[in-house]
Amino acid sequence: MFFFKKKEIPLNEVFPNEFVDIHSHLLPGIDDGAKNLDHSIELISKMYSYGIKNFITTPHVLGDLYPNSSETILNKVEEVKAELNNRGLDDIQFRAAAEYMMDEKFVERLKNDDILTLKDNFVLVEMSYFNAPYNLYDILFEIQLKGYKPVLAHPERYNFYHQDFQNYYKLKKAGCLFQLNLLSLTEQYGKGVQKTAQKLIKENLYDFVGTDTHHMNHLRLLKKIGDKKTVKTINELLLNNKKFK
């Protein structure tokens, strides 16, 4: 009996030419992603080899843990862009938004219109992995009242919703767009997350995807999405990301 290893499709054949990665942590030293400028360039270069040339990186803005101001983020972007240019990687499009924790400080930023958007009025938001904010639907309403569209990062990773799938429909009805972490299709976050991601795909509840890259281990694991079955299920979502170009 012969066993054949499943052939992986190279990632530079998976990502469309105009694909935009809308979720990553590539700015140096301001959250739990890239540690320094060299690390930033290393990660971006590896992603470039995968065929990703358009980035909207999204550092955490999270209470007192990562209290990143818009100014801090934009200054770091210029630092990275200058280094990319120095190294001859000048065909990379590199911008920044933020991944906002929906907490009291975010509500204050919202009131002051101090929001970095993915593009136009799309804003990337997240929740605690332990529980949703008690006033979640009020916050979602306020986001939209201000003219923004909430894009919820990695809904499949909120384990407290796994046992009651109807919560996902409720979030969609409340105006939330969903962003799939591509690594959720691997074992990175566990079987429960993987299963929920597959169900959300099947139910056609996702709108966009992101790599959520923090470090090189993530990029090594990302290769696992390159099989025919997975690529077929996410191809339309990959194409959707072109709207952020």
Instruction: Summarize pLDDT for 207-239 with one digit per residue, the tens.
Output: 999 999 999 999 999 999 999 999 999 999 999
Count the alpha carbons within 13 Å of 159 in the hemisphere toward its beta carbon: 6
Mention every residue, 6+ apart, whose C-beta is less than 8 A from residue 197: 156, 180, 181, 184, 185
Instruction: Summarize pLDDT for 7-52 with one digit per residue, the tens.
Output: 689 999 999 999 999 999 999 999 999 999 999 999 999 999 999 9
Average pLDDT for 52-56: 98
Alpha-carbon distance 191 to 184, whole Å? 9
What was the pLDDT predicted at 5?
A: 53
Instruction: Summarize pLDDT for 124-162 with one digit per residue, the tens.
Output: 999 999 999 999 999 999 999 999 999 999 999 999 999
| Sign of the CA dihedral running 119, 137, 155, 206 | negative
Average pLDDT for 152-178: 97
Domains of the chain: 11-244 (3.20.20.140)
Q: Has residue 3 got a pLDDT over 70?
A: no
Whole-number average pLDDT of the chain: 96
What was the pLDDT predicted at 8?
A: 82
Alpha-carbon distance 210 to 105, whole Å? 25
Query: Any idea which residue has 């008690």 for tokens?
Result: 134
Instruction: Summarize pLDDT for 77-96 with one digit per residue, the tens.
Output: 999 999 999 999 999 999 99
What was the pLDDT predicted at 2?
A: 45
Predicted confidence band of residue 1 (pLDDT cuts 50, 70, 90): very low
**DSSP string spanning 74-125?**
HHHHHHHHHHHHHTT-TT-EEEE--EEE-SHHHHHHHHTT----SBTTEEEE
What was the pLDDT predicted at 4?
A: 47
- The partner residues of 220 in beta bridges, in order of sequence, read none
Mention every residue, 6+ apart, whose C-beta is less than 8 A from residue 108: none
pTM for this one? 0.96
What was the pLDDT predicted at 22?
A: 98
- The partner residues of 152 in beta bridges, in order of sequence, read 125, 178
Question: Strand 60-61 to strand 99-101: parallel, antiparallel, or no bridges (unpaired)?
Answer: parallel
- The partner residues of 94 in beta bridges, in order of sequence, read 55
Alpha-carbon distance 51 to 137, whole Å? 37
Residue 3 neighbours by CB distance under 10 Å: 4
